Structure formats: C-alpha cells, structure tokens
C-alpha cells in the first residue's frame, strides 16, 4: 500500500522526518527511517533519503503507507493526564513507562493516546510532541494540535526560549548551586550518551533544595539550558551526583540500596514556562507556566528529604 498527499501549510518549512511522524503518529520511527534509507519516500517525484530535508506547502509527498487517517489506532490505550488544553496546544502530565512516540506500529505512547482522545488536527496533520521526555521521565510535556502551533513550538524550543525545570533525587550532597557545562556525545548504536570534547554543546544549572546526611541523598532542581538527549542524567552523573534509580548512568551501589523504592530514574519535569510576548498560534500560552506534581514514587523521597526524616521507610 502507498499514497500521495499534498503538503499542507501545517508543515511548511518543517523537517521531513518530523512531518512524517506527525502525519502518521502510530508509525514507529524505525519504519520511517527505513523507508527513507531505501528511497521509498519522494517529494515531487524525487527520492529523499535525509530526514532533515525541509519541505514546502504544495509539494507532493509519496510514502509507502496508506493515507493518513485511513486507519485509527488499533487499540485505545486509554487517556493521558491533561494539565491544560488550548486551541492549538495541549499540555499533559506524562506518566513513567510511557514513550512520547510509539516504537512499534500503533504502540502505546503519548501521541497515540492524544490521537485517540482528540483525533487529528485536520487533513494531513496529527497531534505531535514539540519536545521529548525519556520513557521513564515523568512530567510536563507540550503537544501541538495544529501545524502552525507545532512550527512555533519547535522554534521556541530550538531557540531555547522555553524554560524547562526538573526535580531529581540524586546521590550525595551537591553544592548549593552549580552549573555543568560539558558537551555531550551520543552513540547512535547503543543510545549511550557521554561527555566528550567533540560533542554538542550542553549546559545545565542545578540547585540543591534539600538533603539528608543519613540517607546520603539530595533533592535538586535542574534547569536545562540546552535540550540534549539524556542531558540531566549525564550531567548530574558527570557532576558526581547521579540520579537515583538510573540504571544507565547512576551509581550501582546507591541504586542497589534503594532498589525497592527507586525502580526508575527519579527525574520529573516539574515546570515548563513560556516567554511573554508570543503571538499568533501561541498567544494562548504567552507568559504561562505549567507545573505537574511529582508522582508517588518520587514524592515519598521528596517528603523524607524536605522534612529531614532520615529513617529508611521500608515495608
């Protein structure tokens, strides 16, 4: 099966790979990238193999899948908690264990849940996340419900105009305030990110909010000044204070000690703040700040650290 569609104004100037993901949200990224590598995607009849290619309204797009909207998600995976809904922007509280995009066709994810809850945003456009959170990171996530809103959201995140603040439970006692300015390299084969001089610029600020000497744990606020993959996790580990429960970048002994209580990296996207002066499709979020309360597994640690209780509360 295959189809041809005209590129609408919703996608004018966008990257091809992001456009494909938003038009076909139930399709896994692996299928999209495979089709690009094999030359099965065409624009105005010409094969396009680079996902970074920019597309324009009015172009004819050919893909080896059925037309968008012809098939609803195979399964309704249930809702995702909604913090706020506007005309073009939806803000959700992403739970742990949920991908932002599906990894298999029609798989469970934030965008497929939003798709089943609210439908498509119009011909050739489906809800699309404007930024990313790791599978086991919880918290505030912005989803675009219309093409113009998506383009503007992507621009804001690209230009680092949106403030992103996280809460994390970390090992040890970091300084009261600190900044990690260390470039990050990602191994595309393993997905592992590490600090490396040839990596992409990455900068993180953190502030210690509470700490317990007896627990040898601290609660920190983390502000990402750039938006690299696994940035908060790698930078806090680089600073010597890895996030509790992080099996990839964390401290083995600390994780073992708290394995019953911390079954995931205790990292929560607490706050997303938009700048003032936004117009057009983003007028509705101009100057607004969205917050999400931490989930239960993390809240238990926060209460222990904030109240100064050093007793290990095991069941």
CA distance linking residue 211 with residue 169, whole number of Å: 9
91-137 confidence digits (pLDDT tens):
999 999 999 988 887 789 999 999 888 876 555 677 889 999 999 99
The verdict on 296 and 183 lying in the same domain is yes
Q: Are residues 157 and 169 in the same domain?
A: no
Same domain, 145 and 200: no
Mean pLDDT in residue range 22-30: 80
Residue 262 is given by DSSP the state -
What does the alpha-carbon distance between residue 160 and residue 162 come to, in Å, rounded to a whole number?
6
Residues 36 and 121 placed together within one structural domain of the fold? no
String of DSSP letters for 158-201: HTT-SEEEEEEEEES---SEEEEE--EEE-TTT--EEE-TTSB-
| pLDDT above 90 for 24 | no
In percent, how much of the chain has pLDDT > 70?
A: 94
Beta bridge partners of 222: 166, 206
21 pLDDT above the threshold of 60: yes
Q: Are 292 and 83 in contact (CB under 8 A)?
A: yes
292 and 206 within one domain: yes
Task: Give the per-residue pLDDT at 79.
Answer: 93
Contacts of 292 (CB under 8 A, 6+ apart): 83, 93, 138, 139, 140, 268, 269, 270
- Say yes or no to pLDDT of 147 above 60: yes
In a domain, 312, yes or no: no
Closest Cα to residue 28, out of 128, 135, 108, 105? 105
CA 34 vs. chain centroid, Å, equals: 22
The number of folded domains in the chain is 3
pLDDT category of residue 2 using cuts at 50, 70 and 90: confident
Q: Which residue has the higher pLDDT, 281 or 9?
A: 281
Residue 313, pLDDT score: 42
Catalytic residue annotation:
134
| Helix (H) or strand (E) run with residue 39 in it | none
Q: Is residue 265 part of a domain?
A: yes
- Assess if residue 313 is contained within a domain: no
Give the helix/strand (H/E) hosting 230.
none
Claim to verify: residue 119 and residue 169 sit in the same structural domain: no
**Looking at the structure, do residues 131 and 170 belong to the same domain, yes or no?**
no
What per-residue confidence (pLDDT) applies to 122? 57
- Whether the model clears a pTM of 0.85, i.e. scores above it, the answer is no
What is the average pLDDT value for the chain, to the nearest integer? 90
Mean pLDDT within 206-220 = 95
Same domain, 156 and 291: no
**Which CATH number belongs to the domain containing residue 267 in this structure?**
3.30.2350.10
Q: Do 112 and 92 belong together in one domain?
A: yes
Residue 71 lies inside a defined structural domain of this protein: no
Whether residues 168 and 91 fall in one domain: no
**Could you give phi then psi for residue 214, rounded to 5 degrees?**
-65, -35
75 within a domain of the structure (yes/no): no
Cα gap 93→268, rounded to integer Å? 10
- pLDDT at position 120: 62
pLDDT at 203 over 90: yes
The answer to whether residue 309 scores a pLDDT higher than 50 is: no
Are 89 and 24 contained in the same domain? no
pLDDT reading at 315 higher than 50: no
Tell me what the mean pLDDT of segment 179-202 comes to: 94
Choose between 148 and 314: higher pLDDT: 148
13 pLDDT exceeds 90? no
Q: How far apart are CA 238 and CA 195, in angstroms?
A: 8
pLDDT for 308 equals 62
Residues 9 and 92 in one domain: no
Angle at 39 between CA 34 and CA 41, to 5 degrees: 85
- Could you tell me the sign of the dihedral formed by the alpha carbons of 15, 20, 23, 26, in that order? negative
Evaluate whether residue 73 is within a structural domain: no
Full residue range of the structural domain in which residue 21 is found: 3-63
At 5, is the pLDDT very low, low, confident or very high (cuts 50, 70, 90)? confident
Please tell me the least confidently modeled range out of 6-10, 55-59, 95-99, 110-114: 6-10
């Amino acid at each position: 099966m295959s189809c041809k569609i005209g590129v609408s104004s919703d996608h004018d100037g966008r990257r091809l790979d992001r456009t494909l993901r938003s038009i076909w949200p139930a399709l896994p990224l692996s299928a999209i990238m495979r089709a690009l590598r094999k030359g099965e995607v065409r624009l105005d009849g010409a094969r396009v193999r680079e996902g970074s290619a920019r597309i324009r309204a009015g172009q004819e797009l050919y893909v080896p899948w059925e037309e968008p909207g012809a098939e609803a998600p195979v399964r309704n995976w249930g809702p995702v908690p909604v913090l706020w809904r506007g005309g073009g922007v939806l803000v959700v509280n992403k739970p742990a264990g949920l991908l932002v995009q599906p990894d298999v066709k029609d798989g469970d994810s934030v965008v497929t849940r939003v798709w089943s809850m609210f439908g498509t945003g119009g011909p050739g456009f489906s809800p699309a996340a404007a930024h990313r959170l790791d599978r086991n990171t919880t918290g505030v996530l912005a989803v675009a419900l219309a093409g113009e809103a998506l383009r503007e959201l992507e621009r804001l995140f690209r230009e680092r105009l949106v403030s992103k603040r996280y809460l994390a439970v970390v090992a040890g006692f970091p300084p009261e305030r600190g900044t990690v300015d260390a470039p990050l390299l990602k191994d595309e084969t393993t997905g592992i990110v590490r600090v490396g001089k040839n990596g992409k610029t990455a900068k993180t600020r953190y502030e210690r909010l509470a700490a317990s000497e007896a627990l040898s744990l601290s609660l920190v606020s983390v502000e990402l000044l750039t938006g690299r993959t696994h940035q908060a996790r790698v930078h806090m580990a680089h600073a010597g204070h890895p996030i509790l429960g992080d099996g990839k970048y964390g401290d083995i002994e600390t994780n073992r000690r708290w394995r019953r209580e911390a079954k995931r990296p205790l990292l929560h996207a607490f706050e997303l703040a938009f700048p003032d002066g936004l117009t057009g499709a983003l007028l509705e979020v101009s100057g607004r700040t969205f917050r999400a309360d931490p989930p239960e597994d993390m809240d238990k640690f926060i209460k222990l650290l904030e109240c100064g209780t050093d007793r290990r509360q095991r069941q």
